[in-house]
A and B are shown apart, each in its own frame.
Chain A
Amino acid sequence: MPVACTFVTTAPPLIVARGLEKRFGASVAVDGIDVHVEAGEAFGFLGPNGAGKTSTMRMIGCVSPRSGGELSVLGFDPATDGPQIRARLGVVPQEDTLDLELTVRENVLIYGRYFDLPRAAIRTRADELLEFVQLTDRSNDRVDNLSGGMKRRLTIARALVNRPDLVLLDEPTTGLDPQARHLVWDRLYRLKRQGATLVLTTHYMDEAEQLCDRLVIMDAGRIVAEGSPRQLIEKHATREVVELRFRSESVQHAALPRLHAIGARIEELADRVLLYTNTGEADVERLQADGLETETLLIRRASLEDVFLTLTGRTLEE
């Protein structure tokens, strides 16, 4: 037996989409995307509002029929096997759908019943899950009284009640304050380490960088790039970015010729100029020697935000 052999994966991919489309009347929300997600991956859709992330997630979640292309989830076709697929999914939708009138624990119990799990098993599972999302001490509180971050964590707990093979999270931390976001990230990170397959959407590049092994960048219904965060940055951005802010727009405008003289690629935004370079410090020295006056100036590592900007000419938050 050779020790080193090509590992033949018999496990089929959990999600395969080819030319997947979603149209609402005449408007196209998802415009022919190809996606492939393997078991154990944390896969992300990064894109601005309106990119088609939710529409894609709803098709994968078997609640929204596809308008075109092919889609297979857990090896089945959502068009014909929706209930069987959904029985093995855990879904955290973009907008909360918790039952505000019930308690935290009741929300998990009832959700478990939708999967027809035995009551005793759900009770044990609910306690485990509330412990996992650090809501044990709020078990008997009405959901109404929870903070946004707690609601999000409860939604995650609820989504795990059926021990899903695939967890779908649509913008898991949108609208949360930084501290609440970190709590959610921490839980998702743990899930990932336990081997869960996560598919998430986000318009936060730091979220994508933190959580995703691999991601696609979506814009206007299409995938514009794919890879690991590191690969994407290496491929589409320079090592460093010099960020310059000026006192006024006219000062910024006046500075442009000198910036162009550096020879690096330049992105002009409303409130700042970005200089894509591999020699940040040398460039800054040159500019300062040149007498360039800036309000602030910083050299940072390139991020997915820069990748998005390079590919689309726009920022994610727009």
Chain B
Amino acid sequence: MTTPLAMRVAAHQARIYTRFWRSSVFAYVLSPVLFLAAIGIGLGDMINKNNATVGGFEYLVFVAPGLMAAAAMQGAAADSLWPIMAGTKWIRVFHAMVATPIRPRDVYDGTVLSTTARAGAGATVFLLVATAFGAVPSAWGVLAIPGAALCAGAFAAPLTAFAATQETDLSFPVIMRLGILPLFLVSGTFFPISQLPDWIQPLAWLSPLWHGVVLCRDATTGTLEPGNALVHVAALVACIAAGRALGVRAFTKRLAQ
């Protein structure tokens, strides 16, 4: 049996990854756990003292799935920018791949796949920690893992495509600060989007992170409804599909001109 071409790429990324796992532990686990401790417990305590809930839940329970999806987004975004530039321009390993049976589209697929898998693995660890914190009341919470992975994919797919079109990494910090960070704040991570001014709310629906956050939250709180879930999954899959269409073109242009 032959190994699918994209899987050969993903296997390479996994191998490289054995050297870089520490940075992901920070992005996918340490950073959201710190937030969870500071905001979920600290701020949560204050909210609890006022006998208030957020979105119908204790604040810790509300914020944990938000942090999980947001970490998946942030980690996947960073992993889809600089490492792609390394593959196309700095170290050029992608060029080595396409000299073998692997095609540019396989390099793209394999890379996005491994980024997504990494985010999924990180989300799994975070979920365990959050459960230990008492932030995951429902066993359905396990479905937040594919939810976070899908959210990661929705960012990895278009950003990996974008990174392959770039000649330098100058735009990357801008994307992280002006694209990713604001999404982190307005996608229902820390408070329900119903708190946002009316005119911004529709924008939140356009944010892939919001769909990821809602999926994760509905899972960890055990309030998942198939119809709703399907809409959010469809939105994230649409981002992945659109990103992939661009990515296949961008990688082909970059690697097989």
Contact = CB atoms under 8 A, between A and B. Distances in A.
B249 interface: no
Interface stretch (A110-118, A209-217, A295-303): A110-118
Interface string A94-119: 01111111100010001101111000
B257 A115 contact: no
A89 B11 CA distance: 22
Given A64-B256, A101-B16, A102-B15, A93 B100 contact: no
Nearest to A99: B93
Interface residues of B, number: 25
B103 A96 contact: no
Interface in B202-231: none
A84 B95 contact: no
A106 B15 contact: yes
B105 to A, nearest CB: 11
A224 interface: no
A111 B100 contact: yes
Interface string B71-96: 00000000000000000000111011
A158 B91 CA distance: 16
Interface string B146-188: 0000000000000000000000000000000000000000000
A148 interface: no
Given A63-B255, A106-B15, A98 B103 contact: no
Nearest to B96: A97
Interface string B1-27: 011010011011001100100000000
B99 interface: yes
Contacts of B12: 110, 113-114
Contact of B3 (A82, A99, A102, A116): A116
B191 to A, nearest CB: 41
A93 B91 CA distance: 13
Interface residues of A, number: 30
B142 to A, nearest CB: 32
B91 to A, nearest CB: 5
Contact of B100 (A64, A96, A102, A114): A114
B92 A95 contact: yes
A83 B5 contact: yes
A83 B96 contact: no
B164 to A, nearest CB: 15
Interface string A182-204: 00000000000000000000000
A63 B93 contact: no
B19 A63 contact: no
A97 B101 contact: no
Contact of B93 (A65, A87, A89, A97): A97
Contacts of B101: 83-84, 86-87, 114-116
A101 B101 CA distance: 23
A37 to B, nearest CB: 18
A91 interface: yes
A32 interface: no
A172 interface: no
Interface of B: 2-3, 5, 8-9, 11-12, 15-16, 19, 91-93, 95-103, 255-257
Interface of A: 24, 61, 63-65, 82-84, 86-87, 89, 91, 93, 95-102, 106, 110-111, 113-116, 158, 162
Which 8 residue pairs across A and B have the least CB separation, nearest first? Answer: A97-B96, A114-B100, A91-B99, A83-B101, A97-B92, A87-B101, A97-B95, A116-B3
